[in-house]
Amino acid sequence: MPALWIRHARIVDPAAKRDAVGDLFVVDGKIAPSLSAAAKKRARPLDARGLVACPGLVDIHVHFREPGQTHKETIATGSHCAAAGGFTTVVCMPNTSPPADTAGTIQFIEDAVERGAVVRVLPTGCITVGMKGQTLAPIGSLKRAGVVAITDDGDCVQSNELMRRACEYAKMFDLPIMDHCQDASMTQGAVMNEGAVSTRLGLRGWPNAAEDLIVARNVILSEYTGAHIHLQHISSAFSVDVIRRAKSRGARITAEATPHHLALTDAALGTYDTNFKMNPPLRTEADRRALIAGLRDGTLDCVSTDHAPHTDYEKDKEFDYAPNGILGLETSLAVTLDVLMRQNKFKLTRVIDLMTHQPARILGLPAGTLATGAAADICLFAPEERWRYEANAGFSKSRNSPWHGQTLTGRVKTTIVGGRVVFHDGRVVAR
């Protein structure tokens, strides 16, 4: 692999508190402090003048649908979406068919990653067998098979006692639990946020309390057992307050927000467009503002996409019957930059921190830094370039994006994984 010489970039590495124009050097797939004059002559140059060079983005919440749902997405196509979005490490959820509740299924996923992924794809395992919330999955075997966390994402464990036991085992095996916070008894038949908009549209409402109750439950269990629980896609202002107070007591709680919950509200559902239907649902403006405040003060730890592909024929139904979920990887950086940096005056270094170092820290991943000796996972992007996102021309097998046809600002130009260019100027570079 030839050495790389990335020249004249604005290098933003929040883990190292670095923000300066300079050069990056890559040797044997790792960040090097410099190159000799002779090595510079042999190196592959990349002119990054006017671009930001940051650690490859890290997303700890994606759905790649393999095995069993490859009509929506595969590990290969999902990894192409990730590369196009500037992501070099992603963590995929276990709600596949069959669910990832055995070492054999984890091995199948890892084999698929080895065959077709262009970025680093890390698996999670189920908390319960079949994600049915009845019996614990073999957590020790899943850890040995290589999972980085356990979760029943999409099917929150409803039994408090079973969740307590899961916490005890997770702590024993030093695995974080990632939890989709939803009291299912309060959301039967619900399709959007409960409030004035749901009443006007005649759609069954989904109360904030369904999230708030489980967030509070998880805080209690984390403090009771000492387990690390990561709260996925927080959407409620009340939940943000619960998490803030829990962290002030030292609870082992971390939490994420998604770009769509930061950017959109339930007002977007006025045309019954199912590309705005998701779980948890889009909430109110007050909830949206609370999420931004939570990211500002550290109550919420990172931004994750919850990339959830569905086919056109699945989404093209009456609102009540369409599945929840949207694409997120290719638009995440632009949307997050717009909401946090342009609209809410976050510093660029803080936004990059929320999408690199912080998600890596939550799961203890060796990512999110440009330190000497670290893997050369790098994202180069033009922060002010405007571009039109066309979901039909994207890299996913699905098209379910609320940003289809919109002009976004901030475009990924090059993605490098382990020193190898995997995406450049709109094209994925095949393995």
CATH code assigned at 222:
3.20.20.140
How many other β-carbons are positioned within 10 Å of the β-carbon of residue 252?
Answer: 18
Distances (CA, A) of 72 to 76, 235, 293: 12, 25, 34
pLDDT digits (tens, 9 = 90+) for 226-272: 999 999 999 999 999 999 999 999 999 999 999 999 999 999 999 99
Domain that holds residue 163: 56-363
Q: What's 42's domain CATH number?
A: 2.30.40.10
Averaged over 40-68, what is the pLDDT?
Answer: 97
Look at residue 31 and tell me if it is in a domain: yes
pLDDT at 12: 98
pLDDT digits (tens, 9 = 90+) for 59-68: 999 999 999 9
CA 420/CA 431 separation, integer angstroms: 9
Look at residue 398 and tell me if it is in a domain: no
In this structure, are residues 222 and 168 in contact, taking their beta carbons and an 8 Å threshold?
no
Number of domains in the chain: 2
Look at residue 40 and tell me if it is in a domain: yes
Name the token pair of 162. 């079973």
pLDDT digits (tens, 9 = 90+) for 101-158: 999 999 999 999 999 999 999 999 999 999 999 999 999 999 999 999 999 999 999 9
Q: What burial class does residue 270 get, using C-beta atoms within 10 Å of its C-beta: 0-12 exposed, 13-18 middle, 19+ buried?
A: exposed
pLDDT at 1: 79
pLDDT digits (tens, 9 = 90+) for 398-408: 999 999 999 99
Q: What burial class does residue 129 get, using C-beta atoms within 10 Å of its C-beta: 0-12 exposed, 13-18 middle, 19+ buried?
A: middle
As a whole number of Å, the CA-based R_g of the chain is 21
H or E element, residue 244: helix 237-248
- Same-domain check for residues 27 and 111: no
The answer to whether 306 is a known catalytic residue is: yes
- Same-domain check for residues 118 and 169: yes
- Same-domain check for residues 246 and 336: yes
Ramachandran angles phi, psi of 322, nearest 5°: -75, 145
pLDDT at 31: 98
Look at residue 106 and tell me if it is in a domain: yes
- Same-domain check for residues 213 and 308: yes
Q: How confident is the model at residue 394 (pLDDT cuts 50, 70, 90)?
A: very high
CA 52/CA 324 separation, integer angstroms: 34
Alpha carbon of residue 25 to chain centroid:
28
Chain mean pLDDT for the chain: 97
Averaged over 70-75, what is the pLDDT?
Answer: 98
- Same-domain check for residues 116 and 162: yes
Look at residue 392 and tell me if it is in a domain: no
- Same-domain check for residues 134 and 23: no
In this structure, are residues 58 and 360 in contact, taking their beta carbons and an 8 Å threshold?
yes
Name the token pair of 265. 């509200």
pLDDT digits (tens, 9 = 90+) for 202-218: 999 999 999 999 999 99
- Same-domain check for residues 36 and 171: no
- Same-domain check for residues 110 and 36: no
- Same-domain check for residues 246 and 288: yes
Q: To the nearest 10°, the Cα dihedral for 68, 170, 113, 120?
A: 130
- Same-domain check for residues 284 and 411: no
pLDDT at 431: 62
Per the model's pLDDT, the better-predicted residue between 22 and 430 turns out to be 22
Look at residue 394 and tell me if it is in a domain: no
The active-site residue, picked from 306, 312, 320, 377, is 306
- Percentage with pLDDT > 90 across the chain: 99
Look at residue 395 and tell me if it is in a domain: no
- Same-domain check for residues 22 and 116: no
- Same-domain check for residues 75 and 144: yes
Q: How confident is the model at residue 187 (pLDDT cuts 50, 70, 90)?
A: very high
In this structure, are residues 146 and 106 in contact, taking their beta carbons and an 8 Å threshold?
yes
Look at residue 349 and tell me if it is in a domain: yes
